[in-house]
Structure 1
Amino acid sequence: MSLDWNSVTAFALGLPDTELSTSYGKPAIKVASNGRAFLHGSREEGSFVLAIDQDTKEMLIETDPETFWQTPHYHGWPGLLVRYGSPDPERVLAMIERSRDWTAARPRPKPRKKA
């Protein structure tokens, strides 16, 4: 199985309580009940962004840096770059599901104050 944007978004949209949306001007998949994105496009060629807790993020980067990685932009942020060309696409899909579950458990973001 080969992953691309269409296959990862189709998988993510098949998970419960998800919807197609945008995040930072890029297409994204959000948890519908809290409006939080858990998967979105990336400016990094050949990768997408997955929202995930810091412990899981560090473990994934350590155990599979060819698939899971970050640029300085993502340091300290619960976001992880994922390469489409992973040798273990099943693990990537499992992490998408884990990301959706983690994101669904988070509260709705607080509204931002208008300047």
Structure 2
Amino acid sequence: MSLDWESVTAFALSLPGTELAPYYGGPSVKVNDRAFVMPGREPDSFCLALDRDTIAMLKETAPETFWQTPHYEGWPAVLVRYDSPDPDRVHALIERSHAWNAARRKPKPRRT
């Protein structure tokens, strides 16, 4: 099974309470008004919102799939390579990201 933006978003949108919505001018999949799947700044990866402890573990145990550029360091977001050797694990992490973001408080409205 090969991953691409369309298959990743289709999988994320199959989870409860999700919607396709803009995020910083681009597409994203959101739950609870929080983006949890976004295109990455790198063409071969997408971005997944996860807690920092999980990100540290993923980068250590599967650096061929999960990684960060300096832009993402220190933030609750990890890049996921589309050519991952373990797409089932990627799907499991999308589900985990969905659950983590669904359980968080909704973000405060931005002042305009």
Q: TM-score, normalised by structure 1?
A: 0.94
Alignment length (residue pairs): 112
Shift in Å at residue 29 of structure 1?
A: 0.1
Report Cα offsets for 1:88-111 as digits up to 9, x if no partner.
000000000000000001101112
Partners of 1:83 and 1:93 in 2: how far apart?
12
Are 1:73 and 2:66 an aligned pair? Answer: no
Q: Give 1:67-106 correspondences, 5 Å limit.
A: 67-106=65-104
Shift in Å at residue 42 of structure 1?
A: 1.5
SS at match of 1:74: coil
Q: Which residue of 2 aligns with 1:59?
A: 57
Q: Which residue of 1 aligns with 2:5?
A: 5
CA contact (8 A) 1:12 1:96 kept: yes
Partners of 1:50 and 1:22 in 2: how far apart?
15
Partners of 1:10 and 1:113 in 2: how far apart?
31
C-alpha RMSD of the superposition:
0.8
Matched AA of 2:19: E
Matched AA of 1:71: T
Shift in Å at residue 22 of structure 1?
A: 1.4
Are 1:42 and 2:40 an aligned pair? Answer: yes
Matched AA of 1:90: D
Segments ≥4 residues shifted beyond 6 Å: none
SS at match of 2:71: helix
Shift in Å at residue 112 of structure 1?
A: 2.4
Partners of 2:24 and 2:83 in 1: how far apart?
24
Q: Which runs of 5+ in 2 are unaligned?
A: none
